[in-house]
Structure formats: structure tokens, C-alpha cells
Structure 1
Amino acid sequence: MTHLVDHLTQQLWQELLAVAQTAGLDTTKFTATHRAIVADIAAYLATTPPMPQPAPVPSRLSHWVGRLRGNGHKPSKPAITPPIIICGEPGTGKTTFLYLLDMVLRQKQGLPDNIQPKMVKQGKFVYVVEKRPFCGTPLSLLSVKKWARLLHFYAWDTTTHRLRQADQDAFIQTTLLPMRVLFADEVEMVGYSPTIPDLVAQGLLVVGSSNQYEFAQLVRESVPPKIYTVAGDDMRLGNPDDAVVQPGSEMWRLFELGGETAVYETLPYRIIQQPNGLYLRFNFDEAIRAPLLEPEWMQFLRRVYTQITYVPLRAETPYVLLLDHFSLETLQTNYNGIIRLVALFDAIEQLGMGAVIRHPTHSPNLSRAAFSQLKTVIQNQPGVDIDIKRRTLVGIDRCISRLGQAAHRARRWLPAEA
């Protein structure tokens, strides 16, 4: 067994490095920690795959005999493999490493990706899954929140309007179990229970990433994770202050242009078509009040693009948000606003859009120091539940990352500064 694991580890590692080089990544950034994660995955894959457990249909006699013997027809549960969580500061390559692992296992090792863009239940109920692309290939990786929503879709009984654990288990066993390894990012301190315990209880290995280092919910569910910590410089392209548009620039001119005006839900917006791309402008204050979370933002952003261009939105398509009247100070006590802003930039990241921001009367300060000051104000805010503060701070970290990357994409597409 040891020889098999060593051989598989070496094979996976070489394939991962090859995929990383093809993607233009610096393979010298990978360390012994990354290889140890690969070794853990290899050790899991070398074991016998857990088999789906059919629901028992005992006869009266066998049921009576089982009761006399003190046992029933309960199938033996598969061994639980502790989830692996890669922890570290934003920008240290955690999610990118999951992308590489996903590509290697699905494309090189032949493990199936049974997550389709449209998941169907009972032949008529449809759940749309936003597949994240990497190097042009859709990945099986989802955020923990999206895994939870997918499980809920299959567990929800549309007749009785109740959750049926048996239906969820059947979905996991028939659809997810053949995938062997599931990848999940955004595993934060709250909100992921019982999703990960439900998955590992069926014999799956879950490999996740998180900006946090403590996972009390998993410990309470008796599935303490195996934690790996990665460190290093922020490897993301772009900084949040790159998103700020300066007066007199060609980008500033785009904010001043007229265009088709419409309203989505409660959000007024303007569409600006230019030879080099499509631009969508709306105000910051209205965006953080709009009753939209990530799925609704994605639906809105995708719909606008398709209605104007008559073609589906694809990766690396010049499509840029112009976010006007941006104010970091507004967010100091507006926790719902922060969550909605994070949801907006999560959607922008998923769709590969660009984004820039401005304020007509003063230049916003979006330096990392300014965001750190915002986090300090929130941490010291009296009378606010600690879990709310924690979720908000995690959201700010993610927003910093998303905004910087969206600004980098926009700068590649937008006209150069005057």
C-alpha cells in the first residue's frame, strides 16, 4: 500500500506541476506543504472506494430474526476521512491550488465531474450551477455555500415542503460519491455546518480553503479537519486602490457618458456601449441597498450582457462595472451593506468581469491600510454580535481580493489613463 501511495503521489504531483506551467503559474511557489496535501489525497484514492448503500427491504422473518439477534439491517457506515482545509491569508494561492487539484483529478486521473450546469431532480425541477472555469475548463469546485444550496435542492420535498435526509443521502451516494474528492472554497468559521459533515459521512474526501484558522462547527460535528497553513506574499494581480478612477482620465469620461437607463428590482442602472466593450454603471449607495445576493447579482449581470449583445457572456469578455459614488466610510456601521457588496464582487469574480470605482467630489481611499482601518472600526463597534462581526470581517477580506482582481481585468480592457 505504501508503494502504491508513493507512486500515486509522485504521479499527481508531476501532473499538477505540468498543469500549473500550462496555466502560466510559478511552480517554485509550491512547497512541501502543497506536496503533503497531494500525498493525503493519494492515500485516500488508494483505498477502496465506498459503495452506495442501498435502502434495505427486509422481509418480516429477517426483521424478526434481526431483532432477536440485537441487530437490524443497518448498513455499515463508510469510514470518515477528515476534511482537509488549506488555511492562509488572502492571496496566498489557496484557491488556485484547488483549481489545479481539480484539473488533475478530473482531466488527468479521470475522476468524473457529475456537477452539471443544470442539475435536474425528478425529471422536472432544475437547479442552475455556475461552473467556475480555469484555463477554459469548467471546474467541479464550488463554494461551501453553493454545496449547501445544492444539497438543500435535493433534500427539499416539494410535496410535503420538508427536508428529507434520505433524498439528500441518495443524491450524495449516486451523484457525488463517484467523484471521490470534492473541492470547496470559502470555508469560513460559520455557515458551513452541516454541509461538510454530511459529505464526509458518506465516505467522500472534502478538500477546502479558508482565510480562517478555526473551525469550531466541524469539531462540534465530530469531524475535526486536517489543517494545512500556507504563507507567502499576496500573489493576486491587482490592488483595490487600482480600481479608483482619477478625474481627467479617459476612464472618468466613461462615467460621464449617457446611455440606456433601466431598473432591476430597486436598482437603477445605465448601459454604456463602446467599441472596446460593454459598461454597466450604477451607484454604490443603491447597490448596497438592493435586495440582491450573489445568485441574483449573477442573474442580473449576465442578463444585461446577453440582452445587449445577444450572445452569452464568456470568460475574458470586456464587460466592466462602473461603480459610482463609492464611499468606504458608509460601510463602517452598515453590515448588511458589506454583505451585499461582497455578494456583488463575488458575482463579478465568478463572471470574470472588470470593475472600477469613483466618487465625483473626492477620491476614495481604497488602500489596504484603509480597509484595515475599516476592520478595526468594526471590531471595536459596541453592541454587535461577535458572529456578525466575524462574518463581516471575513467578507471584507474577500472583497479586497475580488476588487483588486476586478480592477486588474478592467485596466487591461479600458482605455489608458490620459
Structure 2
Amino acid sequence: MNDDLRRAVRQVLPGVRTDLDALVRIPSVSAAPGSVEQVRRSAEMTARLFKDAGAPDVEILDDIEDGLPAVLARYPAPPGQPTVLLYAHHDVQPAGSPGQWSSPPFEPTERDGRLYGRGAADDKAGIAAHLAALRAYSGRPPVGVTVLVEGEEEIGSPNLGTFLARHKDKLDADVIVLADADNLTTGTPCLTTALRGMAACVVELRALEGGVHSGSYGGGVPDALTALCRLLATLHDEQGNVAVEGLATAVPPGAPVSEAGFRAEAGLLEGVQLLGSGSIAERIWAKPAATVLGIDAPPVATASPTLTPVARAKVGLRVAPGDDALKARKALAGHLRHHTPWGLQVTVVEAEVAQPFVIDARGPAFDAARRAYGEAYGNDVVDIGSGGSIPFVAEFADAYPQAAILIASAGADADSRAHGADESLNLADFERACLAETLLLAELTRSG
């Protein structure tokens, strides 16, 4: 039977690749107010693709005010078989400066076995992998399948709680497969079993009623920008460990991360030191991380010899698995208030939050996944963590505590550069991921 499924996947892959290219061409940037129509175009194309793939019930769900459209496609379960929810998202990050790309960001381009384009890896490959599996079964999968393709993941899924409450009955499933993670190395399948959460604060410092001459007042009067720099420097100790009190740490999954490979993948310049202490896996999967995401201050091009009256920054926190993101955000806000220097007026606004999550990767569904992905890749499955956040996971786990959650790659790997310039998808691993998901649906019929 598996040989038949291999042949079926090979047969549908050319068409799936064509559809993936078409999806990448749509600049469905959820963070850009001017891209609302493009996000809708992406949802409409996604809905049409699953309808053409035999789904008897396809909806575009856009009934939340100011929300962005999601796509829901359902294939009913044969008698006695489980239902699997296949998740992906069709929105993408902004492309940034086109000059940083080797080819236009929304023109899919194949080079050296990789498909380049914004969203090629994150996460339109996930949509395409789900399509491949369903087409391999000619639209009649051996288990029930519900496909959810979200349109707000890249802006933190702000309406997810409302969405789940409103459509809970439609999304009920025994197993959830999220095709929105990475493999550590090409050719080795990974299951992500620990996710860091996310929290953010915006801090504003005020020193003066207005700007004053630095020659007349500098040396005696503090300015907001210098104070902000001192404040932001307190986020880390001398080694680069996060110095915010009250944050938890965790134990990372067992897979090791090579320091040399990690430095190369990050594009770290020669001589630049890594932050923090402990193994690389501990630092990026199991410990908190603090990042200055942006600063509002006078630009260099128009700078004048003036003391800055007001300065503002956004600080992002990655929250360790097992911690509570709301508690961590409160700790960050408290740190910023407590460490503001020189008596400046400080305002802290607590911003977005997403809970971390740890998966107990045991049981029949995980056994089935290890068999399916192991056979498709020709290598054993490795459990890894993720330094990023997928807000969907924790919220869905709260809504459906009985469901097994499998987080896998649809071909993305450490070289994919998701969110950065020259984002790309490893096409060999994409093909393996399509086969793995197809085999998984068959394995779930046997595992109960």
C-alpha cells in the first residue's frame, strides 16, 4: 500500500508545485493594512484549491469584525475512523527591502533545489503539503480530515480565541497536524515538542517638556534617548543572559544543536559572540530571550545637537516552555519601570502575548507519526524545540485537551530564513513532507 501512496504523491506533486507557486505570488501580508484585498485573494485561492481537491464542504470564515479570512475545508470521517485537523496559514510577513532579495520576493524562483519567495516556507508550503496528501487520496482520505488555513498567524492570531469559540464544533479533532515548523537539518524529520511563548511591552521615557540645546544643558540635564539606552542595557547581564527577574527556564528536547552550524545559519559576523550560557539548545528552546524590537528616536539623517525629550522602544520577550506568558509580561513591565534611570517619567504599555507550550509526544498518534515520517525521510524522527511561537497551539490545546498535537515541517529547514530576505523552501524535504503526511493518514487508521 505504501508503494501505491508513493506513486500517488509523485503523480500529484507537479500540480501541487504549480499551485504553491501561484500562492507565493499573492502578497498576503497580514500586517499591512493596504494588503487586506491580497489576503482575501489568498484565502479565495486556497478555498478553491481544496474544493478542487474533493472537499465536499469548503468555507471562507470572515465573520469576526476587523479579522482576516480563514479557510475551512472538511472531509467526513469514514465510520469508526478518527478525524485529523491539518493546520497551515496563508498570511505572510512583509518582504522588507526588495534590494535584499536575490530575486523578487513575490515571484517564486527555483535555485539549487530550493524555492525562493516570501511565504514559500512559512507557511504556504504547509497548504501545499496538505493539498498533496488529499490529492494523493483523490479527495477521499481514509480518515476524517478538517483543513484550517488561518489568515492572521503572522500578526499573532489576535482573533483566535473568538474564532475557536465561534467555530468550535467544526474544528473538533482527535489529532492536529501543524505544518508550520522547521527540520534541524535537511533529510531528518523533526517533531517540535516544545514552543517558547511570546510577550511584549512598549516603554516610553519622558525627560523634558521639549527639546533643548545640548550645549547649554548637556551634562546637567538627562535626555530621554540616553536614559532609554541605559534602561534597555539592563535587560541582559554581561554574558547576555536575560536579567529580568521572575522568568522560568525549562529543559530542552534531546536533539543537540551545533554551534558552528547555528552561527552559520544565523549569519553571525566574524568575531561576534553568542549570547547567554548553556548549550545552544538551552538558549534558543528552553530559556527566555529579550530583544529590542524597535526604537522611536530622532533619525541620524536629521539629528541636531538637541537633548531628546521623549523616547520610546518596544521590547519583545520569548517565554520559556512551562512559564506563563502573562506573568512573564508583568515581570518585564516591572523591570522596565524599576530600572528607569535618573527619575524620568516612565509609561509601560503591555502588548501582545502568546503562551508557550510543551507536548507530551507519547501515544498512538505520535507512534503513527514517527513511522510515517521515518519512512518518508528514510531517517528516524528527532524531537526538537522551537524558539518561535505558534499562538494557535496553546489556545487549541485548551479548547481540545483530548487531541494529540503534531508539529512538523512541510520542507522548511534551518536555511529557510523565514521572515527574512531570500526565504526559501527545500524542495526535496517538501516532497518528503508531502509523502509523510500522506502516509500518516494511513497510519492513523491502523493506530486507532
TM-score, normalised by the number of residues in structure 2: 0.21
| Structure with the bigger percentage of strand | 2
Higher fraction of helix:
1
By relative contact order (CA 8 Å, sep 6+), the higher-ranking structure is 2
TM-score by length of 1: 0.22
